Amino acid sequence: MPGNEPKGTGTKIRCDACPVMCYIADGRAGACDRYANQGGRLVRLDPLTVIEAVEGKGGNAVSFLGSDDWDGDLVQAKRPFVTAIGAGTTYPDYKPAPFIVGQSVDGVDMVTVVTEGIFSYCGVKVKIDTDRYIGPERATIHSDGEPVGHVTTSEYGSKMLSLGGVEHLTGGTKSEGRATCNALLNLCNRGAVDLDIDQGANLTVQAGRPPIIDGSEEKLMRVGCGSAAIGMFAMQWKPHVDEVIVVDDHITGVLSEHEAGKQLGLPPTGIRVTGRRSTPGRYFKSALPGSGWGGTDIRDPLNIIRSIDPKIAWSGLRLLMVSTTGEQCAYFELDRELVPRNADIPDPLRRSAERIAENCEPSVCSVLFMGGAGGSLRAGVTENPVGLTKSVRDALARVTCGGAETYVWPGGGITFMVDVTGMPAESFGYVPTPALVAPIEFTLRRDDYELLGGHMSEIRPLEEVITPEIRKIEPESRWRDPASCGDAGKTG
């Protein structure tokens, strides 16, 4: 690779692609499995990757802002897009990026700077669609017995994990750093990772797949909280039932008290549920978190009923109890003593529970890589690194990761997130410092690149970069099942 010239040491050569500086014997690979000694020459084992759009089929590699005649084509599909996958790194950091590619697009001269960044400051954010209790907020998460992250604040219908970061990668023991790096690498490459949460669940997490929680695969994401479910289905319930209680870990809903029930003319039923009443028909903390009904520890839904007022309730009162995914439902009728008795659920109510489940989205895990494109990486793009940061902030330079769109955080630096399922398979590598190696591309107009102090003498025409060794990937193949990654691309 340019700038990675081997230093001879007898039968071995020295690789300077990362701070480990391996001495590699002929025919062997370095510790990262990314570089090898081939007859005394340092070679990159993974080919440079180019995304090629097929006519009529879209992608999301990169678009350019500020173009007056932009036709809405998000991928600029008329051209191949050179990713940083297989490009190599700028380490040691005094030299330009491995590939700075020039290309004319609709008469506009463009430059794409590609490099595989060594990210010690990186991690992943994991969104798990489930109502099940996985552990308390701030609980430590372990992989291979080592702490690798923590449970963070839950979001609507999902649990959130924060994994990695420099504190775990380099701030702990060697074994903690190795376990963290291994977990992040597998997650980013869409592999399955087993995690254990203090005072919580055992998880198997994989991008784009349902989570496995304590050995059970999740199927559905909640339709909403108990109150939201009432708002969605109250009109369908009214003709067939007198009361509905939607059991939920966060907000349990009671139809007759809820404003939706009042607006529909349902009379009070005298049934009171446990928990702290927020507004009419909405109750917080009706039960403890768990893996039962609606993400609570409830196994028998009647346990959520605190009292039944004999002055208001009546014999024969029809009661439906249902969870926020519709997977659990039960139907009761009050006897003469106003005791709820199990009864056969009427078909319309059974269908309403099925309708709730139908409106629940499939439960999946989402994995977002998060990294900081800091000091030395920027020097591979420009002699004045802050110029790149300003160019990204001003939307003159577009940041992609393996061709996938990124979200760049506001504020200082270039801190970005990317959905790993939008990237080609096996886009990430590692170095045993430990750190992840992730592709990053900066694309901008040639004149803007010159203004920010870019390495103009290093620009190479696209025709010189595309060689027979390049791996070419059609955009639609990037979202294939990870199990079929072996044939996801075509090799030129």
pLDDT in tens, 270-290: 999 999 999 999 999 999 999
> What percentage of residues in the chain have a pLDDT greater than 90?
66
331 in Cβ contact with 346 (< 8 Å): yes
pLDDT classification of 355: cutoffs 50, 70, 90:
very high
Tokens 């289905």 sit on residue: 233
pLDDT reported for residue 60: 47
Please say if the pLDDT value at position 456 is more than 50.
yes
Lowest mean pLDDT of 10-24, 130-144, 380-394, 395-409, name the range. 10-24
User: At 480, is the pLDDT very low, low, confident or very high (cuts 50, 70, 90)?
Assistant: very low
Q: Which residues contact 149 (CB under 8 A, 6 or more apart)?
A: 123, 140, 141, 161, 162, 163, 164, 165, 168, 180
In terms of Cα–Cα distance, which of 405, 442, 408 is closest to 422? 405
pLDDT at 23: 84
pLDDT value of position 79: 63
CA 418 to chain centre: 8
Residue 485: the pLDDT is 33
pLDDT band at residue 4 under the 50/70/90 scheme: very low
How far is 6 from 241, CA to CA, in rounded Å? 78
Provide the pLDDT confidence category of residue 471 given band limits of 50, 70 and 90: confident
Kindly write down the DSSP assignment for every residue of 327-340, as one continuous string: SSEEEEEE-TT--E
* pLDDT beyond 70 at 295: yes
Residue 123: which residues within 8 A CB-CB, separation 6 or more? 149, 162, 163, 164, 165, 168, 184, 370, 371
Q: Which of 49-63, 112-126, 266-280 has the lowest mean pLDDT?
A: 49-63
- Which range of 56-60, 301-305, 370-374 scores highest in mean pLDDT? It is 301-305
CA 432 to chain centre: 24
Contact 143, 465 (CB under 8 A): no
**Does the pLDDT at position 383 exceed 70?**
yes
Helix (H, G, I), strand (E, B) or coil at 157: coil
Q: Mean of the per-residue pLDDT values for the chain?
A: 87
What is the reported pLDDT for 45?
74
- What's residue 46's pLDDT? 74
**pLDDT reading at 225 higher than 80:** yes
Contacts (Cβ under 8 Å, ≥6 apart) of 410: none
Q: With contact defined as beta carbons under 8 Å apart, do 326 and 354 qualify?
A: yes
Q: Amino acid letter at 412?
A: G
The backbone torsions φ and ψ at residue 429, rounded to the nearest 5 degrees and listed phi first, read -130, -165
Q: Which residue has the higher pLDDT, 20 or 75?
A: 20
pLDDT digits 0-9 by tens, 70-112: 444 433 445 688 888 888 887 767 789 999 999 988 788 999 9
Strand partners, 260: none
Instruction: Classify residue 86 by burial, with Cβ atoms within 10 Å: 0-12, 13-18, 19+.
Output: buried
**Shortest CA distance to 481 belongs to which of 205, 191, 204, 59?**
191
Q: What is the pLDDT of residue 59?
A: 47
Distance CA 148, CA 169 (A): 8
Dist CA 381 CA 98 (whole Å): 10
Please count the CA atoms within 13 angstroms of the CA of 26 that sit on its side-chain side: 6
What is the predicted pLDDT for the residue at 54? 54
Which residue from 387, 399, 401 is spatially nearest to 449, judged by alpha carbons? 387
**Residue 64: is its pLDDT beyond 60?**
no
For residue 208, the tally of other CB atoms under 10 A from its CB is 16
- On the question of pLDDT at 29 being above 90, the answer is no
Distance CA 324, CA 253 (A): 10
Q: Give residue 178's pLDDT.
A: 96
Percent of the chain at pLDDT > 70 equals 88
Q: What is the pLDDT of residue 232?
A: 95
Compare 107 and 329 and report the one with higher pLDDT.
Answer: 329
Four-residue CA torsion sign, 282, 287, 288, 293: negative
Lowest-pLDDT choice from 36-40, 127-131, 227-231, 323-327: 36-40
Averaged pLDDT, 301-320: 97
Rounded-to-integer distance, Cα 123 and Cα 373, Å = 13
Nearest to 282 by CA among 247, 259, 239, 253: 253
* Residues linked to residue 332 through DSSP beta bridges, in sequence order: 319, 342
